[in-house]
Amino acid sequence: MTGSGRGVPRNPAVLPAADAQSGPLPDAMPRTLSELMTQALVMELDAVQRYTEFADAMEIHNNRDVAALFRTMASIEQKHADQIMTTMKWSSLPIAAGPHRWRTFDSPETTASEDVHYLMQPYHALQLALAAERRAARFFGELALATKVAAVRKAALEMQAEEHEHVELVKSWLAKVAPPAANWADDPDPPHYMD
């Protein structure tokens, strides 16, 4: 390629609801309960980090409602991570909680970094959170189906059920939020050069 190969078709400022495959790579299939919980912990911590980045970015851009929402999501995911640490009686992060490989670039519960917009509204943020919770639920469901270890299957199904609860929770929040107007991304003082 000579540089023009990346000139993919234009896409207006839409927020994709990233919803790709979510399962673990075959060589990352947890063999023990501890390995499963380590994966779950990594998922939660990745989500905390990304939501915190989003919250910081939105605060910088004075989008306070969305910043607060992302901050809330980060704190919820942090609580889940803390619960895993408590359940497993881990006092510090397990060594295996280093970089993990997933079928997708990010871990299943993490929203892609480019899926946000400085003018996005709480509705958009909740849609992203909903997609993330659904990916997490599907991840544990697929894992439960694939594993041959009974303890791993049982725990994976429990985690799937928890993620389903989160899906319903986010849905209930979404029901209280008005969908954005069609022109939500219109900026009277846009960063783009104008005639």
The footprint of another protein (CB under 8 A) covers 1-13, 16, 49, 53-54, 56-61, 63, 99-101, 105-106, 112-118, 120, 191-195
> Residue ranges of the alpha helices (H) in 22-63?
33-60
At a CB cut-off of 8 Å and minimum separation 6, what does 180 contact? 121, 123, 124
The residue among 116 and 159 lying less far from another protein, judged by its C-beta, is: 116
CA 111 to CA 113: how far, in whole Å? 6
What is the nearest approach in angstroms of another protein to the Cβ of residue 69? 13
What is the nearest approach in angstroms of another protein to the Cβ of residue 151? 27
Please spell the DSSP secondary structure of 124-154, one letter per residue.
HHHHHHHHHHHHHHHHHHHHHHH---HHHHH
What is the nearest approach in angstroms of another protein to the Cβ of residue 176? 23
The residue among 59 and 162 lying less far from another protein, judged by its C-beta, is: 59
The residue among 27 and 172 lying less far from another protein, judged by its C-beta, is: 27
Token pair belonging to 171: 């849905």
What is the nearest approach in angstroms of another protein to the Cβ of residue 150? 30
Q: Is 4 left (phi over 0), alpha (psi -120 to 50) or beta?
A: alpha
Q: Are 43 and 52 in contact (CB under 8 A)?
A: no
178: amino acid identity, one letter? A
What is the nearest approach in angstroms of another protein to the Cβ of residue 113? 5
